[in-house]
Structure formats: structure tokens, C-alpha cells
Amino acid sequence: MIKISHRKMLLCVSASAGALLGFPVSAQAQGFAGDPAFSDDASGGEIVVTARRREESLQDVPIAVTAISSDALDLSGAQDITAISQSTPSVTLENSRATGSTLSAFIRGVGQQDPVAGFEQGVGIYLDDVYFNRPQGALLDIYDVERIEILRGPQGTLYGRNTIGGAVKYVTRRIRADKATFRAKLAYGSYNQMDAVASVTAPVSDTLRVGATVATLSRDGFGTNLTTGKDNYDKAVFGARGTVEWEPADGLLFRLSGDYTHDTSQPRHGYRMLPGLTQPKLLKGKYDTTAGITRRGPYSENDVEAWGSQMSVDWTVAPDWRIRSITAYREDDTRSPVDVDSTPLNSFDIPIVYTNWQFSQELQLLYEGDSLALVAGVYYLDANALTAFDSVFQVVTQFTMGDVDTKAWAVFGEATWDMTDSLSLTLGGRYTRDKRTSHVQREFFLGDSSPYFGGTGASITLPVVVDGVEVVPTFNGTRTDSAFTPRAILAWKPVEEVNFYGSYSRGFKGGGFDPRGDFGNPDVRQGFRPEFVDSYEVGAKTSFLNGRVTANTAFFYADYTDVQIPGSVVVEGPPVAFVGTLTNAGKARIYGVEFEGAAQLSDSLRANISFAHNNAAYTRFIVNNVNVARDRDVQNTPAWMGSGGLTYSVPIGSGRFSLTGSASYRGKTQQFEVAMPLIDQKGYWLFDAGAQWVADSDRVRIGLYGRNLSDKRYITSGYYFPGAATDNSVTAYYGNPRTVTASVEFRF
């Protein structure tokens, strides 16, 4: 195994950056094929992004943004959006513990670990400019995608929903107006992976065009449930998407789209890190389990359905003026049996249901003149999130339900003024008002299920006291939070190939109520407060040698106040209870540096490199009137991250053959704010490689891709509830093992 110290890695990256920066500045910047920031088409055209709600060259955008084209994703063998965090600085994207379709996202130390109703995401996930209000169903597979944009830092002045930590934008392909197209991709790989994706588009008339995509993605499990004999970590996903575009006149476009995903994979169960009553010895296979929750109750199988539709209208009302409307509705339904103890006993089992729906409406006014660009808009969100679950402890079951309504509206705007040919000033602001209404129900029952989950045990009607506080069976609360959040950017381009910028932005995330909290406690009844981030950034985006080299660097500093830290503990009664412990952690300080570079070393060889260092620490974290900040760490934010790769490409026959290899490093990662060595992950490397042949006509693509070639076992998330009441329920969830996939794609 290769071991490289943090200092050596920093020296390597610094040397590479210095080499890139040492090239003389040329007169003109052009894109080259293969750079993740550029497309892989024959023209080598530069990717155009819409990070600021208008089309701009990636290198001209004065914010920290990474754009990855569909061809770059294809060449890497990436299958879902978690793969992009290997090469994107300061970004963590992962499965949320016991689910294969719920996403946990962190950018620069800001994110949301727990998917329970009542908590907003710290990182916004967008599908074609539509915000996902809940993380369920947000772990998107990569198909029918044009590019993915990752924006780091608060993004409140341009986006419908205020996103405090950053945004991940999933941009789908537009339909060609000049001819019909057809794409079909088949893949087979390790663990009997079998994927099939078919896409067709066609112009029906001069003004109307339609398109549709269907995908089936399947794989056997990486491990086995030794109790039920079923797979563990398998995959069974069906997805479909349809789009209609109508352009009745020049400058007027209607785009109606809908998508549907159904995940029927087996429940994911973690690996026990401590011995228990029925498992005195740890299992050999990290992906194996002895979980037995699937043998009981009506919610014994994993089932996730998510669907949505949106209508966007883009109208050019005058040569420099446009109006945009984005109307969307989304809904998802998740039923998942979570076996926290991962044994046949019901020492700690959680069958859980998530149901979410949202309606959003956004209106934008856009102006783009010779020296002024303006975006102004209003946004409205009406959403409901319901979480219901049993916490089963042997013969006593605690039922919890949180039903949360969110109504939010915002007014936002941002203007960029080109003061001179080389100097521009951007000013923006947003006013947000969030109203959150919560209904929480908490009851205890004898037996291994509540009536909601099919149980017939008697209700425990006597007063129940947990940790000195009497349990309140029902709670209703409402809170409204509002804030103004500004942004300012000063950008200077002394020459066309160099873009220096400095920025300040403020992010805001509203408060709420933890449905798992002890509402007999007055502090819990008041709810948790909103959190704020004041983010400062200076950076440089540079290109050299006619665009053959790019080097982008960003330095950032953030003051993070009233940080919302959701947590939970098991209280050893009687009765045993599962209790939320959400804390507004006072203050945190996060600063660091990010670098992304790429170079076309020759006509056949190109290289890319990325690097991030995050120094994240709490400065104020009050527990029982004591500041315990020194004993707390910012979760899911490794201090060191880096990646690098080489791609060799040569003509072979009537096409072009490309061979790529890459390595990525992620430093020590702490799962929660308190160190838990059994589930915290030490620093590790991942190695990937791929080979691809593309016909000159681009009608045939053949590929072979290997990921995690060293077969590294690394923890991505886990549960930590040691003790007799839970039979030492400490479980870990692991990233994918080594996989090899072969694919063939036809395009017409």
C-alpha cells in the first residue's frame, strides 16, 4: 500500500501548481479536450456554465465553481454523484448510512448529516434549477446529464432557495432542434452489474421537440445478509425522464419535463464493530450482516419512489431583457427498515417512513447589456416532510412521528457592473422568510412494533420519564425566521487569461424543531435557532499557452455561528428511549485553500490535479454551561484532500483510444462532532483507471473502467450507540469495493 504524508502531498501539489503558474501568459485562452472543465467534443470547446444564472465561460466566473462535463464523467466511469467528491476540493457526498438513495452533502464544513424531517440541508441539490427540499431521492445516478456544477460557499443571491454551504447542480441535456437522436448504453461489471440506458429525442415540427430516457441499473450485493440469505449493498433502480420543448416564436421557449425513480434494492445494513449477544465474534466480510429486521412487520423491505415535474418558460422580451419562470412539484416516498444493531435480535431496530412533497415557484428578470448584467427574482416554497419511525428495544417500542410544514418566500437580486474593461463589481442581496410548523407525536408500546407499523401491543399510558424529563405525547410548534444576506464580488482581469477576484457573502438557514427531542424540556419546545455563515474568499483563475494549461486557486475564510448540530442518544430508562440532542453550537471558524489545475502536456497526454486544505474548528460549543469546543470537531470535513490523474489519447483505427489513471486522497474524517474511533475513518487513497475507444463519427463508444483498484475498505458513515441497552450497537457503512465495468454505447 502506498503511504504519503500530508507534507509530501502538499509539496507535490505546490510544486505542480508552481510549474503550472510558471508558464508565460499567452494572448488567447482556448479549451482542450479532456480537462474536466472542458467538453470532450471534437472542437475542444470550453464548457459554458450557468452558475450565475447566465451563460459564462467557467474561467470567467469569479466564484469557486467546478464543472464536470458528461464526457469527463463517462471517461471516469462514475455512476452516481458521490463519485465527483473524489476530485472536487472541499466536497463530501455520500450515502446517508442505511440508505442507497438519500444523500448527505458537505461543502467547506457546512452540511447536514441527518435526513429526519425538521432539518434543512446545508448544501442545495438542484435538478435543472429546481431545489430538492429533502435529501431523500437526491442521490442521483448519472444518466441523461450534460454536466454537473459544484458551487462552493453561500449561494443566496442567485438561487431560489438560500443555500448556506454551496450547491450541486445537475444539468440535463437539451433536445436538438435539427435532427432526431438516439443513444443506447449497455454495461456489465463486477457483482453482476447490468445497466441499460436508452435515450431518444426528435423534432416533431419546426417548433416542437420531444425526448425520453429510460434506465435500469442493477447489481448483486457486495455482501450477504447471513440471517435472511439476501444480498447486502445490492442495487435495483429504475429511472425514466421525459421532456417536451415548444418554441412557438423566436425568443420564447417552454420546457416541460418529468422524472421518476424507483429503488427496490435490499435494505443496507452496517457492519458490527463490537461483539454482541448473538454475534460474539465479528464477521469477516465488511459488507456482511446478520440483521434480522426484514423478517418482521409490513415495512420489511426497502422501497423508494421519487418523482417530479417542472415547467420552465424563457422569454426574451427585448434584445437585452429576459423573463424566466420555473414551476415545479416533487414528491418522494421512502420505506426503509434500519437494523441499527445489525443482528437477528431486535436490540435496536428502526423501521422508518419518509414522505415528502414540495411545490416551488420562481420568477426571474434578467438583463445583460454591454457593461451591466442583472438578475432579480422572487421565490416561493410550500413543502411538507413527514418522518415516522419505531425505535424497538426488545419488548418496548418507542414511536416517533414528525410532520413539518415549510412555507418560505424570498426576494433576491444581483448585478454585475463592468466599471472598466478589466474591473467589475458585483453586488447582490436576498431577503428570506421561513415559516416552519411542526407536529410531533411520541408514544411507547409493549411489543416490537407500534400500531403505525402493524403492532398490536398495548400503549404505555402511565407518565413516562426519560432522563428526568416527562415525555410529552404530542407537541405543536411554529417558528418564523427571516434574514437579509448580501454578497459582493470585485473581479479584476488585467489580461484575458487571468481573473483575480475577492468576495464576501452571507448564508442563512432557518431554525426548526427536532422531532426526536424531549418536548417536556422548555428549551426544546422553543426549537433550534437559525444558523449563519459569513464567508470571505479571494481567488485567481488563470490559463496559459492558448488554454493548454489552467490553474485555479481559492483562499477562503468563514465565520459559522449558531451551528445546528443534530445528534441522538439512547437513554437506558426504564423505559429505554431514543432521544434527539440538537445543539446550536455557538461558533466555528473554517478557513483553507483550494486548487484545481489541468495541463495538455502534449498532443496525446494531459494531466489534472486538485487539492484542498480545510482548517475547521469550533470556537464556542456550550454543553451544560461549559464551553467544550476543544473536545469537538467539525464533521465530514477532512483537513486534507487531493487528486491527480493522467490521460493518454491516440488515434487507433477509425477512432481515438484514451487511457486514464487517477488517484485521490481523503484525510482523516470524523463522522460526528465527538471523536468515535470505531467509525471514524483514517486517511486513505483510492485508485481508478479506465480505457475508452470513441469512433471518429462519435457513433460508437467502448469502455473498460476500474474503480477502487486497490480494493480499499473505507468507512463512509455509521451509527454509534454502545451499551447494554442496545447490545453494543456500533455499526459502520463502507464505500464500494473494487469494481470493473465494461460498456458499449451507440449514438445516432
Q: What is the pLDDT of residue 42?
A: 29
How much of the chain exceeds pLDDT 70, in percent?
90
| pLDDT tens figures, 97-144 | 777 677 788 999 998 877 777 788 888 888 888 888 876 665 666 677
d(CA 681, CA 737): 16
- Three-state SS string across 465-477, please? EECCEECCCEEEE
pLDDT band at 460 (very low <50, low <70, confident <90, very high): confident
| pLDDT tens figures, 12-59 | 333 333 333 333 222 222 333 333 333 333 233 466 777 677 777 878
Q: What is the pLDDT of residue 199?
A: 93
Residue 230: how many CB atoms within 10 A of its CB? 16
Beta bridge partners of 127: 130, 170
d(CA 16, CA 37): 18
User: Going edge to edge, which strands form the sheet with 715-721?
Assistant: 271-272, 729-734, 715-721
Q: What is the mean pLDDT of residues 212-229?
A: 94
Q: What is the pLDDT of residue 209?
A: 96
Contact between 139 and 80 under an 8 Å Cβ cutoff? The reply is: yes
Q: What is the pLDDT of residue 14?
A: 37
Who has greater pLDDT, 5 or 405? Answer: 405
d(CA 341, CA 343): 6
The three three-digit cell numbers of residue 135, written as one number:
435529501
Total of domains in the chain: 1
In this structure, is residue 707 part of a structural domain? no
Strand (E) positions, 204-269? 208-219, 223-224, 231-232, 235-249, 252-263
d(CA 168, CA 81): 9
Beta bridge partners of 592: 556, 614
Q: Which residue type is seen at 424? A: S
Q: What is the pLDDT of residue 297?
A: 59
pLDDT band at 660 (very low <50, low <70, confident <90, very high): very high
Q: Which residue type is seen at 179? A: K
In this structure, is residue 484 part of a structural domain? yes
The three three-digit cell numbers of residue 106, written as one number:
458537505
Residues 284/289/292/294 CA torsion (nearest 10 deg): -160
Residue 64: closest CA among 666, 613, 595? 595
| pLDDT tens figures, 736-747 | 999 999 999 999
Range of the domain at 140: 6-683+715-731
Contact between 210 and 258 under an 8 Å Cβ cutoff? The reply is: no
Q: What is the pLDDT of residue 582?
A: 80
Average pLDDT over the chain reads 86
In this structure, is residue 395 part of a structural domain? yes
- CB neighbours of 124 closer than 8 A, spacing ≥ 6? 131, 132, 155, 159, 161, 163, 166, 167, 168
Contact between 507 and 165 under an 8 Å Cβ cutoff? The reply is: yes
Q: Where are the alpha helices (DSSP H) in 413-538?
A: 522-525
The three three-digit cell numbers of residue 643, written as one number:
487528486
What is the CATH number for 300? 2.40.170.20
Contact between 352 and 340 under an 8 Å Cβ cutoff? The reply is: no
| pLDDT tens figures, 508-546 | 999 989 888 877 777 788 888 999 999 999 999 999 888
d(CA 495, CA 27): 8
Q: What is the mean pLDDT of residues 273-289?
A: 91
The three three-digit cell numbers of residue 192, written as one number:
453482476
d(CA 606, CA 301): 47
pLDDT band at 386 (very low <50, low <70, confident <90, very high): very high
Beta bridge partners of 392: 349, 397
pLDDT over 70 at 665, yes or no: yes
Contact between 315 and 252 under an 8 Å Cβ cutoff? The reply is: yes
| pLDDT tens figures, 464-476 | 776 666 777 888 9
Contact between 528 and 511 under an 8 Å Cβ cutoff? The reply is: yes
CA-angle at 73, arms to 253 and 684, nearest 5°: 140
Q: What is the pLDDT of residue 40?
A: 35
CA-angle at 49, arms to 47 and 53, nearest 5°: 160
The three three-digit cell numbers of residue 590, written as one number:
473554517
Q: What is the mean pLDDT of residues 593-607?
A: 94
What letter does residue 11 receive in the DSSP assignment? H
Contact between 594 and 554 under an 8 Å Cβ cutoff? The reply is: yes
Who has greater pLDDT, 19 or 250? Answer: 250
| pLDDT tens figures, 540-566 | 999 988 889 999 999 999 999 999 888
Overall residue count recorded for the chain in this entry: 748
| pLDDT tens figures, 392-409 | 998 899 999 999 999 999
Helices then strands, each counted (H, E), the chain: 3, 45
- Residue found under cell 458528461: 70
Contact between 643 and 633 under an 8 Å Cβ cutoff? The reply is: no
- Three-state SS string across 290-315, please? CCCHHHCCCCCCCEEEEEEEEEEEEE
Q: Which residue type is seen at 535? A: S
pLDDT band at 220 (very low <50, low <70, confident <90, very high): very high
The two beta strands, 684-695 and 700-707, are antiparallel
The three three-digit cell numbers of residue 176, written as one number:
436538438
Q: What is the pLDDT of residue 669?
A: 93
pLDDT band at 568 (very low <50, low <70, confident <90, very high): confident
In this structure, is residue 374 part of a structural domain? yes
Who has greater pLDDT, 648 or 460? Answer: 648
| pLDDT tens figures, 293-306 | 865 556 678 899 99
